Structure 1
Amino acid sequence: MRAPRPRRRRPGWLRLPRWTATLTWKAALFITVMCCALAALLGALVHAAVTAQTVSQSREKALGKLTEVTEAYEAGEPLPPYAGVDPPGLPGSLRELAVGGERGTMVSTFQDRPIMWAAGPADGRALAVYIDYSLSVRTITGLDRAIVGSSVLAIGATLLVGAFAVTRVTRRLHLTAQVARRISAGDLDARVRDPRTEDPTRPQDEVATVSAALDTMASSLQRKLLSEQRFTADVAHELRTPLTGLTAAAELLPEGRPAELVRDRVRTMRSLTEDLLEISRLDAGSERVDLDVHELGPLAGRVVRASGTDTEVRIVRDTCVETDRRRLERVLGNLIANAHQHGRAPVVLTVDGRVVTVADAGPGYPAYLLEHGPARFRTEGGSKGHGLGLTIAAGQSAVIGAVLRFSNPADGPAGGGAVARLELPASPPPPGCPQA
């Protein structure tokens, strides 16, 4: 089976600008092309009709004079100045037609003027008359100019009206797209609220239908998410009371392997409950930051030591950042725990100015996480965990204004695997702090 050929890319000088892909430009181009085609068709029809009428009138006039001249020639009377037998300037084809015994007419130029010739047979020669055709030529030329001018004016007016109408539609489409982006970014209160959808008596077009569907979808999504958030918060709060009792009861058990297993499971459930409560607070948007200036290198070192893991710390460039220390430690702690739980050693934490990376040499992040970000209660394969650690890390990063990105570079600090990159917001460091 033959492999498909790779698609060739157009050279840079053949690529159209980005604005040519807009609906406004396409509509304007379509309107212009259609107006030009319609104007050309109508202009050609009018030009052909008027030219045929003008030529017909001049031909009848010339043939009428030819009849008068023929009668005078047959009566032996002198011919008028505009007539003659084989006169100079008579077109050869018309002369041959008259010598052949037929009458005919033809427009040509004689003495730098357009004239209409009419010729007929006269004793084996051509008897011809001519009339001035300048007025007819000026009439046709003036008509052509009027057609071109009116066509340009009509095209311009139609283009302005069409562009105004299309712009109103595209403006509504841009508003709908903007609201959709706000919803995807987490602003579930964003709505289009198209006036056509709020008044049922007004006719709705396709844009209004899309706007109404988007608003309905956003409202439904908001209700479901709020219901899930309330459920998560309620479950976590309800679990805290029995877990407190379980913790106290586990401490009363006699020392031994069963007691250790029970205490370990209770600690796990307690940690999961606290994670659920933290996620519910992040979802509710009720978190408030406690900003202070901290030196990033020592802070990262304390987090690694508190994790009790074999994590290498590399300080490329140390600096001071204005952030919430507790939340930043929570983010870094979750990233380190995730690297050890789902990755492989070595795990390296690197501080390079305002950027902190946590890398491991494991199989890397799953595809869904790289594309859509962390998702709670979702993990790949049979790996242990609930997907809450990275979800909390991403939520707390957003609270402190940091940007958290995930990637699987082949040449990461730990030799490949997964890399979490945390970029803290810029802030001028106070005197005495390292400069990034």
Structure 2
Amino acid sequence: MRLRPPAWTATLTWKAAVFITVMCCALAALLGALVHVSVTRQTVNSARDKALSRLMNVTQTYEAGEPLPRFAGLDAPGLPEPLRILAESGRRGTMVGDFEGRPTMWAAGPADGRALAARVDYSLSQNTITNLDQAILGSSALAIGATLLVGAFAVTRVTRRLHLTAQVARRISAGDLDARVDDPRTKGRSRPQDEVATVSAALDTMAATLQAKLLSEQRFTADVAHELRTPLTGLSAAAELLPASRPTEMVRERVRTMRTLTEDLLEISRLDARTEQVDLAVHDLGPLVERVVRTAGSPNTAGTTGPMDTRGTPGATEVRIVRDAAVETDRRRLERVLGNLVSNAHRHGRPPVVLTMDGPAVTVRDHGPGYPPYLLEHGPQRFRTETAGPGGGKGHGLGLTIAAGQAAVIGAELVFGNAPDGGALARLTLPAYVPPAVSPVSPVVPQPPTGGRGDGRDGGADHPP
């Protein structure tokens, strides 16, 4: 099993902190090593020179036959063995060792085939080096901590601006084209801009340009649909006056199609403008679903509990109510969503079409070729209605687009998918209605009158009951 590091280790702040810490530790170790080597070398050289100077004086004293001082002697006890061997071989040298448990700098030289040695107390020099090492470690830790805090503060300021830019980009992707970063560094041209400010300015410019283009397209679509309503209304009235015939039915059918397309375009324009206002009310979902199926022209069996079928009825929608639920929603918009899903299943799928309600979740499924891959990946697209199978039906492609838009308005989740055994499957999940909690009301206990004149609110003598 491969272990994965936590997600926070991939953040820029963490990486910058690790980088700053590693660089500070490397720099502190390098500087500390240089200072330690330099000071230690000077201290040791000073102690060695002092020990050699004593050895020279002790040698002169020994050659003069005078008594040796207490810090010198022949084959002195405590003299390191390597230094004794060196002196007996006829050479002089120095070495740091111990004498009575204290650090000592020894200097030894030959004297009549024996080792003449002198010692110098090395405790002060050793303490100096130890204190220096502790000071280096302490100052390095302090410098690393201070540098890490300053670096983390600087990096956090940058990452905070990057997070803000990413948040604005996500809001724009979700459809909020009014979102802007508004980085203060992009306001004045004289103020220097860093890379984050450049990205923020580019994102704001892109959002403004995209918003202007989309608003222009929305206005164009709304204007075209609005201008088409008047001639189509006249054309519809004129078509009703034509004598009954097959060509007349074809003209009327085309006029109805054009009127439906015009109304759909106007509805999409309102959805794009985000000006829709919901009319929320509490409804029982079961009867509402049945009414939608009846309105769509598909018969269904009456009843509100248990699975309901219309098997064997051509063009029918099989309704299955597993569990009823109350929902707080806009009834007109919900009926529009469900009606479009049922109509799309009949138009582009194959029977049987099954509508299943399980609490606040409603599923519409057909047994046709299923939704095409582009719709499953990117959602409904306008004026594109090819089904997944060969020879799929075509239309103006606004039914599912309107269903998705109206579902978003009422706060429902609409998910498109394909059933494992074939067929398109659309699942609409409505927010469940939670009745408000009713606080218990304490019973009112009548109190006896306190007495008084008139209505008893004024002070005075009590009246008998």
Does the CA-based 8 Å contact 1:83-1:128 persist in structure 2? yes
What SS is found at the alignment partner of 1:207?
A: helix
Does the CA-based 8 Å contact 1:346-1:361 persist in structure 2? yes
Query: For the residues of structure 2 that align with 1:56 and 1:378, how far apart are their CA atoms?
Result: 90
Query: For the residues of structure 1 that align with 2:436 and 2:328, how far apart are their CA atoms?
Result: 10
Aligned match for 2:295, one of 294, 297, 306: 306
Query: For the residues of structure 1 that align with 2:279 and 2:359, how far apart are their CA atoms?
Result: 21
Query: For the residues of structure 2 that align with 1:342 and 1:100, how far apart are their CA atoms?
Result: 109
Shift of 1:84: 1.2
Matched, 1:36 2:42: no
Shift of 1:304: 1.0
Query: For the residues of structure 2 that align with 1:99 and 1:255, how far apart are their CA atoms?
Result: 138
Shift of 1:368: 2.6
Does the CA-based 8 Å contact 2:384-2:396 persist in structure 1? yes
Does the CA-based 8 Å contact 1:47-1:140 persist in structure 2? yes
What SS is found at the alignment partner of 2:167?
A: helix
Matched, 1:373 2:379: yes
Provide the residue aligned with 1:50 in structure 2: 39
What SS is found at the alignment partner of 1:190?
A: coil
Matched, 1:397 2:397: no
Provide the residue aligned with 1:67 in structure 2: 56
Matched, 1:117 2:127: no
RMSD over aligned CA atoms reads 1.7
Query: For the residues of structure 1 that align with 2:419 and 2:204, how far apart are their CA atoms?
Result: 39
Provide the residue aligned with 2:448 in structure 1: none
Matched, 1:271 2:260: yes
Aligned match for 1:231, one of 203, 220, 232: 220
Q: Which protein is bigger by CA-based radius of gyration?
A: 2
Question: Which of 149-158 and 91-100 deviates more?
Answer: 91-100
What SS is found at the alignment partner of 1:121?
A: strand
Q: What do residues 53-76 of structure 1 show as CA deviations (whole Å, max 9, x unaligned)?
A: 100100111111111111111222
Matched, 1:282 2:292: no
Matched, 1:406 2:416: yes
Aligned match for 2:369, one of 363, 373, 382: 363
Alignment of 1:26-425 (within 5 A): 26-309=15-298, 310-380=316-386, 383-410=393-420, 415-425=421-431
Does the CA-based 8 Å contact 2:180-2:204 persist in structure 1? yes
Residue identity matched to 2:36: H
Does the CA-based 8 Å contact 1:315-1:350 persist in structure 2? yes
Query: For the residues of structure 1 that align with 2:436 and 2:365, how far apart are their CA atoms?
Result: 30
Query: For the residues of structure 2 that align with 1:220 and 1:110, how far apart are their CA atoms?
Result: 86
Residue identity matched to 2:377: E
Query: For the residues of structure 2 that align with 1:74 and 1:36, how far apart are their CA atoms?
Result: 55
Q: What do residues 192-219 of structure 1 show as CA deviations (whole Å, max 9, x unaligned)?
A: 0000001111111111011101100100
Shift of 1:372: 2.5
Query: For the residues of structure 1 that align with 2:133 and 2:77, how far apart are their CA atoms?
Result: 32
Q: What do residues 88-136 of structure 1 show as CA deviations (whole Å, max 9, x unaligned)?
A: 2211211121122221111012221110111111122211111110001
Shift of 1:430: 9.2
Does the CA-based 8 Å contact 1:319-1:429 persist in structure 2? no
What SS is found at the alignment partner of 1:189?
A: coil
Residue identity matched to 1:184: S
Provide the residue aligned with 1:16 in structure 2: 5
What SS is found at the alignment partner of 1:376?
A: coil
Shift of 1:298: 1.2
Shift of 1:424: 1.2
Query: For the residues of structure 1 that align with 2:435 and 2:76, how far apart are their CA atoms?
Result: 104
Query: For the residues of structure 1 that align with 2:68 and 2:434, how far apart are their CA atoms?
Result: 108
Shift of 1:321: 1.7
Q: Which runs of 5+ in 2 are unaligned?
A: 299-315, 438-465
Higher share of residues assigned helix: 1
Query: For the residues of structure 2 that align with 1:105 and 1:186, how far apart are their CA atoms?
Result: 83
Residue identity matched to 2:405: G
Question: Which of 248-257 and 42-51 deviates more?
Answer: 248-257
Does the CA-based 8 Å contact 1:192-1:211 persist in structure 2? yes
Query: For the residues of structure 1 that align with 2:77 and 2:100, how far apart are their CA atoms?
Result: 10
Does the CA-based 8 Å contact 2:28-2:140 persist in structure 1? yes
Query: For the residues of structure 2 that align with 1:121 and 1:343, how far apart are their CA atoms?
Result: 112
Does the CA-based 8 Å contact 2:282-2:433 persist in structure 1? no
Does the CA-based 8 Å contact 1:321-1:429 persist in structure 2? no
Does the CA-based 8 Å contact 1:320-1:429 persist in structure 2? no
Query: For the residues of structure 2 that align with 1:364 and 1:27, how far apart are their CA atoms?
Result: 49
Q: Which runs of 5+ in 1 are unaligned?
A: 1-8, 432-436
Query: For the residues of structure 1 that align with 2:120 and 2:434, how far apart are their CA atoms?
Result: 94
Q: What do residues 161-189 of structure 1 show as CA deviations (whole Å, max 9, x unaligned)?
A: 11111111111111111111111111111
TM-score, normalising length from structure 2? 0.86
Question: Which of 261-270 and 368-377 deviates more?
Answer: 368-377
Seen in structure 2, the aligned counterparts of structure 1 residues 48 and 430 have a Cα distance that, compared at 3 Å, is: closer
Say how many residue pairs are matched: 416
What SS is found at the alignment partner of 1:76?
A: coil
What SS is found at the alignment partner of 1:356?
A: strand
Seen in structure 2, the aligned counterparts of structure 1 residues 192 and 48 have a Cα distance that, compared at 3 Å, is: same
What SS is found at the alignment partner of 2:82?
A: helix
Query: For the residues of structure 1 that align with 2:260 and 2:215, how far apart are their CA atoms?
Result: 23
Q: Which runs of 4+ in 1 moved over 4 A?
A: none
Identity %: 77
Q: What do residues 313-371 of structure 1 show as CA deviations (whole Å, max 9, x unaligned)?
A: 00011122222111111000101111222222221111111111111222322233223
Does the CA-based 8 Å contact 2:326-2:432 persist in structure 1? no
Residue identity matched to 2:337: V
What SS is found at the alignment partner of 2:67?
A: coil
